[in-house]
Chains A and B, each alone.
Chain A
Amino acid sequence: MRRAALAAPIAGVLAGGFGGAATLVPAAQLCAAATYTGHVTLVVEHGDTRVVGLCIGFDGSSITGEQMLQASGLEYATQSYGGLGDAVCQLDSEPASYGACLPASGSYWAMFVSRNGGGWQTADRGISTETFSDGDAEGFRYVPQSRPQPPPASPAGICARALAGPPTPAPAATTSATAAAGVAPAQSSAGGGTTGSGPDGGTTPPPAPTDAAAATPPPAALRAGGSGGVATVGTRPAPPAGGPTAALLAAGVAVGALAALLVWRVARRRMGQP
């Protein structure tokens, strides 16, 4: 397991997971996000287009996708897929319950990665095996299986705004931490999930479903790994109808042309022409 020295809030989350809300790390011990050596962005886009964007600070060279979810404070449940790693079955309480982690029909959590500010790419590993360095981003989007997988909202600017924000005062941060405990994510109680996480280790009931109207940013001290964090909650315009990209169409045309050329050469060869 990587020896990334994770932020104190992560330690607080894990400590709370073992001992309940009473052992949450006081806000005074939480470090400012700006003091971490690395920062990554987490973007979660729900099926109803609600977007949650978080900036996660960490110390060390890299952080895994699962560590990011742990640091974010979002509720999540996973299932192991062997060498590929763990897949996310439930995230931020969506879906409310599930039988199969990746159902044959319906929606699922598609995972994306962005390297060093580049565009979103489909992840080829699970959250437990995918690693992120400073400047990278991890994205999740709840999409139907029958449709193409458009990426989530852009991660650009989330960490910049988080690092530029004023430090959260200690009393307010304490209140925030306490408030976070009250709505601490809990382990999914639905069947099929094999892993769950939350600040209190899954002993509290699932939080009430959030809605677009509840646009209050979550506790910055806990969510963003320190003071100055920002959680962006908002909506995005409906994406255009999905379809093959121009590059994919061009590739199809190229392959078709090469195949046609091959058939033509075979026909000439059979006719005895050079």
Chain B
Amino acid sequence: MNPRAIAAWSLAALAIAVSTNNPVYRAVVALCALNLILARGRPGLRLRPLLVTVAVAAAIATVVSLLLSHTGTHRFIEVPGDVPLIGGAITLESLVFGLVTGLGIAAALLAVAPLTLVADPYDLVDALPPFLARTGAAIGTALNLIPTMARSAADIRDAQRLRGWRPRRVRDWPDVAVPVVLTAVESSITLAEAMEARGWGSGPRTHYLTAPRWWFDVAVAVSALLAAAAFLALRASGAVPDWYPFPVIPPLPVNPAALACCLVLILPSLGPDTR
């Protein structure tokens, strides 16, 4: 898919996920994002790191809300009030609130995941508008430095161990950290010289190969942005109210129009394969 279409879709999905705390809409956004990743993900894609990250973030939000929010009618246990922070009632309503908050975090993370899991990073940087081209290149280069530094750190650590290095204190780790930093600086200088040799920054940005734009990509981008705009309009008008499980868990209000706006996000995972 065209990276700009993916960016528009992610923006729309993120806007819907963060603008409401209704778990129905958040669940629909999350499921649409997972479907998109599975349908359009790059070859060789591994989802386990993403899923683990999402699960851990959601679990932390749930536990924090459960322990710190003592509001609610249906109480599980009563923690003595002398206990700091978590002292008080542990209620079903706070558990539900934590789960809803975790679902929101998961939906937001999954909404932006296609930017890295579906779009090629180089195509994504290339798709940036001209006034963001230099900033995008700098950010992309910096992000690309992270895995490079990780590999360099592992190599240097193994080399030091072959020389008899055994870390026992925090003061021993500069033996690895300093070479890693120096290696990263040297790599950055080499990269800068390579970019300058290829004329980067000497004139307007050129493209070796422009990502094709199919009618389907345009349809995905337009429909996603319109759906997000419609959803936000419904929120502003009061048709999509907030939902809180306090003091008792109320029924979930679902607006058919808002639900339809969320379901539009499934479009890119159902369309033809444009690869």
Contacts and interface: CB of A to CB of B under 8 A. Distances in A.
B216 interface: no
B71 interface: yes
Contacts of A115: 238
A262 B244 contact: no
Interface stretch (B149-157, B180-188, B247-255): B247-255
| Pairs A-B, 6 closest by C-beta atoms | A258-B31, A247-B254, A265-B38, A251-B254, A102-B73, A122-B250
B257 to A, nearest CB: 10
Contacts of A103: 73
B73 A262 contact: no
A215 interface: no
A47 B250 CA distance: 18
B242 interface: yes
B34 A262 contact: yes
B32 to A, nearest CB: 7
A82 B71 contact: yes
Interface in A244-267: 244-245, 247-248, 250-251, 254-255, 258-259, 261-262, 265-266
A156 interface: no
A266 B38 contact: yes
A124 B242 contact: yes
15 contacts: A81-B246, A102-B248, A103-B73, A104-B75, A121-B253, A122-B243, A122-B251, A149-B251, A245-B251, A247-B259, A250-B254, A258-B32, A261-B35, A262-B35, A265-B35
A149 to B, nearest CB: 6
B74 interface: yes
A84 interface: yes
B27 interface: yes
A2 interface: no
A266 B37 CA distance: 11
Contacts of B263: 254
A250 B257 CA distance: 11
B24 interface: yes
Given A247-B259, A255-B27, A265-B38, A122 B241 contact: yes
B266 interface: yes
A244 B39 CA distance: 33
Interface of B: 24, 27-28, 31-32, 34-35, 38-39, 71, 73-75, 238, 241-244, 246-248, 250-256, 259, 263, 266, 269, 273
A129 interface: no
A36 B247 CA distance: 34
A16 B259 CA distance: 51
Nearest to B21: A124
Nearest to B30: A258
A248 B254 contact: yes
A124 B259 contact: no
B243 to A, nearest CB: 7
A136 to B, nearest CB: 10
Contact of B35 (A84, A110, A122, A258): A258
Contacts of B273: 274
Given A124-B244, A255-B31, A265-B38, A250 B252 contact: no
Contacts of A81: 71, 246-247
